[in-house]
């Protein structure tokens, strides 16, 4: 694009120096001048390009380093595995790339640049939409596409025919004088381009809105239990900064059944035991008190009106009864154990605070299809309950030293002592199958493995920005297609009488934005098409 604005049909704002490659003079800039200079730099296409590439590069570390918001445990593990690089990278935000100040700086600058670029362009385009096509240049033969012919008819007749031809090809036509026509079409290209860029701002706003006003909470619900949508009902709850977490819609969800299917045929590498179907049947009781049976499955979330319920996990909750020395049950519950691998080798803890003489705690594994060998210890070899086993160690002491908050899936043994084994081993090992009972040493009572329930891991989320984001994204797509498919073209016509033959010399020149292979054909078609000169 080395030629002037008029000839290239450019819709870009002119570069700061007007595009001329003249000698560079450096005027003395006052503070306002500097601001203006910085603003012009920021809103130039080159800067946008640079920031786009920077954004791409900046996004990559988030895929190669574990991210805290996605997998906090793996992130902590990585940092402790790399004692020198870990903390440094942590400080630089490499484990929270998409929330880090430098990533935000890139995309915010990009969007400032975008606004600074698109607003003036929209204004120009708005004026162009209502303006007439510009006057024909004096020398049409200098335009990239040009044809000249001598045809029958008077200049006025020829001009009228061409006007009709151009209109037929959906040009906007205007005659600035008696011997020329100026025609332009393809305004939708720039419109589409502007819609695309503006819609990107809509996407960003939608994402931000969802972040500020959305929330998500996770909860594990064993079969037969009911979840109530209150802050206390959740295992974890992460609200956006502007969310009032006491203002949740009062509904309950009872998990009636949890159906799970796994691949049982060995169809090739890695497929045996793969999950095939997860389906939770629930009783949903809305705020109005009406109860209905609803199914929640992967890819089929439940819309509640106050958050969408997704089935994101499942696992096993062994039902265990702990009795004291007199045989009174002091603990009866289905306790969720969390799956650690694809075969649902699950870990968990059973906490019995009311036992005597001290609190009792059990920690260990639940194995749906258990195998215990020396090499790998207790593990499961299939995700379904073909041979369920509970492998536990027992502790006594104080379960809640100092009342610190702790995870329900692990035992804090800081103030506890392991119960010793029978034959002098320093650790008691308990292995139970459903229905079996183990007598604890020292008159502490017994533990019975009654059976296994499944649990469902629900994630309940709201995102008030998602509609805006989706609509903007689709608008952006539509704008993009227009911008890339539509061609912006100008055609100029000049007629003059041919003195010698009494016919008319007609000269047609065409000009397109970008290089447009079809412009020659377009000019030819205008000249010779159905309404043209022949």
- Tell me which of 411, 416, 476, 519 binds another protein, using CB under 8 A: 476
What does 179-227 look like in DSSP terms, one character per residue?
SEEEEEE-HHHHHHHHHHHHHHHHHHHHHHHHHHH-EEEEEEEETT-EE
Alpha-carbon torsion (332, 333, 337, 342), positive or negative: positive
3-state helix/strand/coil string of 138-161: CCHHHCCEEEEEEECCCHHHHHHH
Alpha-carbon torsion (267, 273, 275, 276), positive or negative: positive
- For residue 249, the minimal CB distance to another protein (Å) is 17
- For residue 191, the minimal CB distance to ligand HEM (Å) is 11
* Residue 56 in the binding site for another protein (CB under 8 A): yes
Nearer to ligand HEM, 44 or 346 (CB): 44
Residues lying near ligand HEM in the complex (CB under 6 A): 11-12, 43-45, 48, 52, 110, 113-114, 117, 193, 197, 200, 483-484
Bridging pattern class, strands 180-185 and 172-174: antiparallel
- For residue 516, the minimal CB distance to ligand HEM (Å) is 12
> Mutual orientation of helices 101-130 and 187-213 as an angle, nearest 10°?
140
Nearest Cα neighbor of 90 from 57, 65, 58 is 65
Which of the listed partners (ligand HEM, another protein, none) does 401 bind, with a CB threshold of 5 to 8 Å by partner kind?
Answer: none
Which of these segments, 140-148, 293-301, 392-400, 406-414, binds another protein (CB under 8 A)?
293-301
* Residue 201 in the binding site for another protein (CB under 8 A): no
* Residue 301 in the binding site for another protein (CB under 8 A): yes
What does 111-140 look like in DSSP terms, one character per residue?
HHHHHHHHHHHHHHHHHHHHSPPPPPPS-G
- For residue 200, the minimal CB distance to ligand HEM (Å) is 5
Nearer to ligand HEM, 55 or 347 (CB): 55
What does 273-292 look like in DSSP terms, one character per residue?
T-EEEEEEEEEEE-TTS-EE
Which of these segments, 32-40, 134-142, 147-155, 466-474, binds another protein (CB under 8 A)?
466-474
Which of these segments, 35-43, 498-506, 509-517, 520-528, binds another protein (CB under 8 A)?
509-517
- For residue 55, the minimal CB distance to ligand HEM (Å) is 8
Give the tokens for residue 286: 């809305």
- Tell me which of 1, 88, 325, 329 binds another protein, using CB under 8 A: 1
- Tell me which of 18, 25, 46, 376 binds another protein, using CB under 8 A: 46
Nearer to another protein, 35 or 53 (CB): 53
Q: In whole angstroms, what is the distance from residue 401 CA to residue 296 CA? A: 39
- For residue 498, the minimal CB distance to ligand HEM (Å) is 40
**CA–CA distances in Å: residue 348 to residues 332, 362, 365:** 16, 9, 6
- For residue 114, the minimal CB distance to ligand HEM (Å) is 4
Nearer to another protein, 121 or 176 (CB): 121
Contact present, 67 and 95 (Cβ < 8 Å): yes
How many other CB atoms are found less than 10 A from the CB of residue 517? Answer: 8
Interaction pattern, residues 261-290, with another protein; x per rule: CB under 8 A: --x---xxxxx--xxxxx------------
Which of these segments, 49-57, 86-94, 144-152, 495-503, binds another protein (CB under 8 A)?
49-57
489 beta partners: 185, 512
- Tell me which of 42, 212, 298, 330 binds another protein, using CB under 8 A: 298
Which of these segments, 84-92, 160-168, 307-315, 397-405, binds another protein (CB under 8 A)?
307-315
Q: In whole angstroms, what is the distance from residue 456 CA to residue 200 CA? A: 38
303 beta partners: 308
- For residue 117, the minimal CB distance to another protein (Å) is 11
Nearest Cα neighbor of 317 from 432, 455, 458, 450 is 455
* Residue 59 in the binding site for another protein (CB under 8 A): yes
Binding to another protein, residues 69-98 (CB under 8 A): 69-71, 74, 97-98
Give the tokens for residue 331: 């603990």
149 beta partners: 506
* Residue 148 in the binding site for another protein (CB under 8 A): no
Which of the listed partners (ligand HEM, another protein, none) does 270 bind, with a CB threshold of 5 to 8 Å by partner kind?
Answer: another protein
- For residue 480, the minimal CB distance to another protein (Å) is 5
* Residue 216 in the binding site for another protein (CB under 8 A): yes
Q: In whole angstroms, what is the distance from residue 439 CA to residue 430 CA? A: 10
What does 216-285 look like in DSSP terms, one character per residue?
EEEEEEETT-EEE-SGGG-SEEEE-TT--TT-----EEEEEEEEEEE--S--STTTTT-EEEEEEEEEEE
Residues that bind another protein (CB under 8 A): 1, 10, 12, 15, 19, 45-46, 48-49, 52-53, 55-56, 59-60, 62-64, 66-67, 69-71, 74, 97-98, 207, 216, 263, 267-271, 274-278, 297-301, 308, 310, 312, 459, 461, 463, 466, 469-470, 473-474, 476-477, 480-481, 484-485, 514-515, 517
């Amino acid at each position: 694009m080395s030629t002037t604005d008029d000839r290239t049909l450019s819709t870009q704002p002119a570069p700061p120096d007007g595009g001329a490659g003249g000698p560079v003079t450096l005027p003395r800039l006052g503070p306002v001048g500097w601001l203006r200079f910085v603003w012009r730099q920021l809103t130039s296409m080159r800067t946008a390009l640079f920031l786009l590439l920077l954004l791409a590069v900046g996004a990559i570390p988030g895929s190669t380093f574990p991210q805290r918001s996605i997998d906090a445990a793996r992130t902590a593990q990585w940092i402790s595995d790399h004692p020198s690089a870990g903390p440094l990278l942590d400080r630089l935000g490499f484990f929270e790339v998409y929330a880090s100040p430098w990533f935000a700086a890139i995309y915010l600058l990009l969007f400032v640049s975008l606004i600074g670029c698109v607003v003036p362009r929209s204004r120009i385009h708005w004026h162009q939409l209502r303006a007439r096509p510009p006057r024909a240049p004096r020398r049409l033969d200098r335009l990239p596409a040009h044809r000249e012919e001598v045809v029958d008819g008077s200049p006025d007749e020829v001009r009228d025919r061409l006007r009709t031809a151009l209109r037929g090809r959906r040009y906007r036509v205007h005659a600035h004088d008696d011997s020329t026509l100026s025609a332009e079409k393809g305004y939708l290209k720039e419109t589409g381009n502007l819609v695309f860029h503006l819609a990107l701002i809509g996407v960003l706003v939608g994402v931000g809105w969802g972040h500020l006003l959305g929330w998500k909470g996770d909860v594990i619900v064993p079969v037969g239990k009911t979840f109530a949508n209150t802050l206390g009902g959740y295992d974890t709850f992460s609200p956006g900064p502007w969310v009032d977490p006491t203002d949740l819609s009062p509904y309950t969800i009872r998990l009636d059944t949890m159906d799970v299917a796994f691949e049982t045929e060995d169809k090739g590498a890695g497929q045996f035991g793969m999950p095939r179907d997860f389906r939770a049947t629930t009783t949903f009781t809305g705020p109005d008190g009406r109860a209905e049976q609803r199914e929640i499955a992967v890819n089929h979330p439940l819309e509640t009106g106050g958050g969408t319920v997704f089935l994101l996990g499942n696992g096993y909750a062994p039902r265990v009864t702990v009795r004291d020395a007199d045989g009174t049950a002091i603990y009866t519950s289905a306790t969720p154990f969390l799956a650690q691998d694809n075969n649902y080798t699950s870990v968990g803890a059973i906490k019995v605070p009311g036992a005597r003489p001290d609190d009792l705690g059990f920690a260990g594994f639940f194995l749906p299809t258990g195998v215990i060998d020396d090499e790998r210890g207790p593990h499961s070899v299939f995700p379904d309950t073909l041979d369920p086993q509970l492998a536990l160690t027992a502790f006594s002491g104080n379960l809640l030293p100092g009342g610190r908050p702790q995870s329900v899936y692990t035992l804090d043994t800081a103030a506890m002592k392991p119960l010793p084994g029978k034959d002098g081993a320093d650790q008691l090992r308990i292995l139970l199958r459903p229905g079996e009972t183990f007598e604890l040493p020292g008159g502490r009572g017994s533990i019975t493995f009654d059976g296994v329930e499944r649990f469902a891991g629900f994630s309940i989320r709201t995102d008030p920005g998602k509609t805006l984001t989706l609509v903007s994204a689709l608008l952006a797509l539509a704008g993009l297609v227009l911008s890339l498919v539509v061609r912006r073209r100008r055609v100029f016509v000049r007629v003059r009488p041919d003195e010698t033959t009494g016919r008319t010399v007609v000269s047609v020149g065409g000009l397109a934005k970008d290089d447009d292979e079809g412009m020659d054909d377009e000019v030819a078609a205008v000249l010779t098409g159905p309404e043209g000169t022949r």
